[in-house]
Amino acid sequence: GQSLEQPSEVTAVEGAIVQINCTYQTSGFYGLSWYQQHDGGAPTFLSYNGLDGLEETGRFSSFLSRSDSYGYLLLQELQMKDSASYFCAVSEAGTALIFGKGTTLSVSS
Protein backbone atom coordinates (compact mmCIF):
# COMPACT_ATOMS: atom_id res chain seq x y z
CA GLY A 1 0.00 0.00 0.00
CA GLN A 2 0.92 3.62 -0.14
CA SER A 3 2.02 5.86 2.70
CA LEU A 4 2.87 9.54 2.85
CA GLU A 5 4.50 11.44 5.68
CA GLN A 6 4.39 15.20 6.12
CA PRO A 7 4.70 17.36 9.24
CA SER A 8 1.43 18.07 10.98
CA GLU A 9 2.15 21.74 11.71
CA VAL A 10 4.49 24.48 10.59
CA THR A 11 4.60 28.07 11.82
CA ALA A 12 6.28 31.07 10.22
CA VAL A 13 6.11 34.85 10.06
CA GLU A 14 5.08 37.07 7.20
CA GLY A 15 7.77 37.53 4.60
CA ALA A 16 9.61 34.34 5.57
CA ILE A 17 10.25 31.21 3.54
CA VAL A 18 8.87 27.85 4.62
CA GLN A 19 9.43 24.35 3.28
CA ILE A 20 6.93 21.53 3.77
CA ASN A 21 8.44 18.10 3.23
CA CYS A 22 6.73 14.96 2.04
CA THR A 23 8.13 11.46 1.95
CA TYR A 24 6.25 8.61 0.36
CA GLN A 25 6.25 4.88 -0.14
CA THR A 26 4.44 3.65 -3.22
CA SER A 27 4.83 1.35 -6.19
CA GLY A 28 4.30 2.34 -9.79
CA PHE A 29 4.86 5.99 -8.89
CA TYR A 30 3.72 8.56 -11.43
CA GLY A 31 4.06 11.87 -9.67
CA LEU A 32 3.60 14.09 -6.63
CA SER A 33 0.98 16.82 -6.33
CA TRP A 34 0.34 19.54 -3.80
CA TYR A 35 -3.00 20.99 -2.73
CA GLN A 36 -3.96 23.90 -0.51
CA GLN A 37 -7.06 24.00 1.65
CA HIS A 38 -8.26 26.97 3.67
CA ASP A 39 -10.51 26.41 6.66
CA GLY A 40 -13.99 25.58 5.45
CA GLY A 41 -12.91 25.57 1.83
CA ALA A 42 -12.27 23.08 -0.93
CA PRO A 43 -8.76 21.80 -1.63
CA THR A 44 -7.20 23.58 -4.60
CA PHE A 45 -4.48 22.24 -6.85
CA LEU A 46 -1.10 23.96 -6.53
CA SER A 47 1.46 21.94 -8.47
CA TYR A 48 2.48 18.61 -9.94
CA ASN A 49 5.93 17.03 -10.27
CA GLY A 50 6.29 14.04 -12.54
CA LEU A 51 10.03 14.33 -13.04
CA ASP A 52 12.88 15.11 -10.68
CA GLY A 53 13.56 18.76 -10.13
CA LEU A 54 11.96 22.04 -9.26
CA GLU A 55 8.69 23.45 -10.58
CA GLU A 56 8.05 27.12 -9.90
CA THR A 57 4.72 28.90 -9.88
CA GLY A 58 4.99 32.42 -8.56
CA ARG A 59 5.81 32.41 -4.86
CA PHE A 60 5.36 28.63 -4.68
CA SER A 61 7.83 25.99 -5.83
CA SER A 62 7.69 22.22 -5.62
CA PHE A 63 10.53 19.76 -5.77
CA LEU A 64 10.72 16.04 -6.38
CA SER A 65 13.46 13.45 -5.97
CA ARG A 66 12.16 10.10 -7.21
CA SER A 67 15.28 8.25 -6.05
CA ASP A 68 14.76 9.51 -2.49
CA SER A 69 10.93 9.20 -2.58
CA TYR A 70 10.87 12.76 -1.34
CA GLY A 71 9.40 16.05 -2.31
CA TYR A 72 8.76 19.44 -0.82
CA LEU A 73 6.67 22.54 -1.28
CA LEU A 74 8.49 25.84 -0.85
CA LEU A 75 6.51 28.95 -0.05
CA GLN A 76 8.33 32.28 -0.33
CA GLU A 77 7.42 35.78 0.82
CA LEU A 78 4.80 34.35 3.10
CA GLN A 79 1.55 36.24 3.48
CA MET A 80 -1.19 35.89 6.07
CA LYS A 81 -3.45 34.45 3.40
CA ASP A 82 -1.07 31.50 3.03
CA SER A 83 -2.30 30.21 6.40
CA ALA A 84 -3.96 26.97 5.35
CA SER A 85 -3.50 23.21 5.22
CA TYR A 86 -1.21 21.80 2.56
CA PHE A 87 -1.50 18.25 1.31
CA CYS A 88 0.90 16.21 -0.73
CA ALA A 89 -0.62 13.48 -2.89
CA VAL A 90 0.85 10.67 -4.95
CA SER A 91 -0.31 9.30 -8.27
CA GLU A 92 0.33 5.65 -9.00
CA ALA A 93 -0.31 3.51 -12.01
CA GLY A 94 -3.77 2.05 -11.83
CA THR A 95 -4.75 3.60 -8.52
CA ALA A 96 -6.41 6.74 -7.33
CA LEU A 97 -4.76 9.90 -6.08
CA ILE A 98 -3.76 9.30 -2.46
CA PHE A 99 -3.32 12.19 -0.04
CA GLY A 100 -1.17 12.69 3.01
CA LYS A 101 -2.74 13.85 6.27
CA GLY A 102 -1.82 17.46 5.63
CA THR A 103 0.36 20.15 7.14
CA THR A 104 -1.26 23.12 8.86
CA LEU A 105 0.70 26.29 8.12
CA SER A 106 0.18 29.24 10.45
CA VAL A 107 1.58 32.58 9.33
CA SER A 108 1.81 35.34 11.90
CA SER A 109 2.58 39.03 11.54
Partner 1 sequence: KAGVTQTPRYLIKTRGQQVTLSCSPISGHRSVSWYQQTPGQGLQFLFEYFSETQRNKGNFPGRFSGRQFSNSRSEMNVSTLELGDSALYLCASTVGGRVDGYTFGSGTRLTVV
Interface positions with partner 1 (CB under 8 A): 30-31, 33, 35, 41-45, 48, 50, 87, 91, 94-102
Q: What are the distances in angstroms from CA 56 to CA 44, 74, 108, 109?
A: 17, 9, 24, 25
Output the CA torsion 12→16→17→20 (10° steps): 10
User: Looking at beta carbons only, is 21 or 91 nearer to partner 1?
Assistant: 91
CB of 51 to partner 1, least distance (A): 11
User: Looking at beta carbons only, is 72 or 87 nearer to partner 1?
Assistant: 87
Where is 101: in which H helix or E strand? none
User: Looking at beta carbons only, is 17 or 97 nearer to partner 1?
Assistant: 97
CB of 93 to partner 1, least distance (A): 10
CB of 96 to partner 1, least distance (A): 4
CB of 94 to partner 1, least distance (A): 8
